[in-house]
Amino acid sequence: MPDHYENFPVASWLCPPRLRPPIAAIYGFARTADDIADEGDASADERLADLTDFRADLAAIASGRAASPRWPAVFGPLALAMSKFGLPEALLADLLSAFMQDILKTRDGGAYADRAELLDYCRRSANPVGRLLLHLYGVAGPQALRQCDAICTALQLINFWQDPSVDLPRGRFYLPLADCTAQGLARESFDSFRPMSSVQPPRQAIALMAQEATWARELMQQGAPLVHLLRGRAGWELRLVVQGGLRILDKIEALGFDTFSERPTIGKGDAPLLAWRTLWMRRQSKPMKKEEASPR
């Protein structure tokens, strides 16, 4: 499997030990499917055929049958996790649906018409991971699910706004066309200032990225209260994820919102600030005194 830069911890030491195997199985499933969709020299049709086979193997283990021998390192651990923890097949299938959509959009030169269409993609590409984790943690309820979806969608959007210098040359375009039009831009406007180009992004593109980053930050802030529902290590893990996402947004802002020319990343130098912000979230989670909670 190719090496991948990751913004956020996956099955880290903060995760409850008994949940590390199923979380690693979910990650292995999603990472492998994403690699099928994104890595190597296969054609779009070959990628779609492989993901169709991958989906058939998921259906097989979900019904108690054996998967094909193509991906034993994926479906062996995942079958155990689904059997032991009751992971919903539909959430895993949604991830594959999103990967297939990525292939089709790229192959056909498509784009997302507006934020609603992009959010539907996020509903399948990102939100299932959070819902699977809530399932493992035994957290349920409509408010928790809404907050979890907000965090996951925010993380997906942050990844998009972090990566245009990578995505645009590969033919992937996630900026909603309605937002582009509002700034006087079309999809073709972005062809002239791709990475390694001497042409700087116009102010309209910078304003667009600032607008999209604000949207992602608002979603993350809407979901952040979920951290107070998760106890122990799981809560600390989620705090780091939230703060990691917000830190990337800080770095996008520090670049003057020009992620068309440079890709911001999180490194070891960010650890002290992330730790401090995570502790601050912990302190803020303490119950208010009675007089503080009373309406003024």
User: What ranges in 16-138 are assigned the alpha helix state H?
Assistant: 20-38, 44-62, 72-85, 89-107, 115-125, 127-137
Of 260, 250, 264, nearest in space to 195 by CA: 260
Stretch(es) of the chain classified as CATH 1.10.600.10: 112-284
State the Cα–Cα distance between residues 90 and 94, nearest whole angstrom: 6
Residues in the chain: 296
Torsion of CA 155, 158, 160, 161, to 10 degrees: 180
Could you give the 3-state DSSP secondary structure of residue 288? coil
Contacts of 296 (CB under 8 A, 6+ apart): none
The CATH number of the structural domain formed by 112-284 is: 1.10.600.10
Number of neighbours of residue 189 by Cβ within 10 angstroms: 16
In Å, how far are 5, 49, 88, 290 from 71, measured between CA atoms? 22, 15, 20, 56
* 8 A C-beta contact, residue 18 and residue 84: no
* 8 A C-beta contact, residue 96 and residue 33: yes
- pTM reported for the whole predicted model: 0.88
Per-residue pLDDT of the chain (296 residues; tens, 9 = 90+): 344 444 444 445 567 789 999 999 999 999 999 999 988 899 999 999 999 999 999 999 999 999 999 999 999 999 999 999 999 999 999 999 999 999 999 988 889 999 999 999 999 999 999 999 999 999 989 999 999 999 999 999 999 999 999 999 888 999 999 999 999 999 999 987 766 566 789 999 999 999 999 999 999 999 999 998 888 878 888 999 999 999 999 999 999 999 999 999 998 898 899 889 988 886 554 433 333 232 32
State the Cα–Cα distance between residues 152 and 220, nearest whole angstrom: 8
Scan for tokens 């006087």, then name that residue. 184
* 8 A C-beta contact, residue 227 and residue 234: no
* 8 A C-beta contact, residue 227 and residue 238: yes
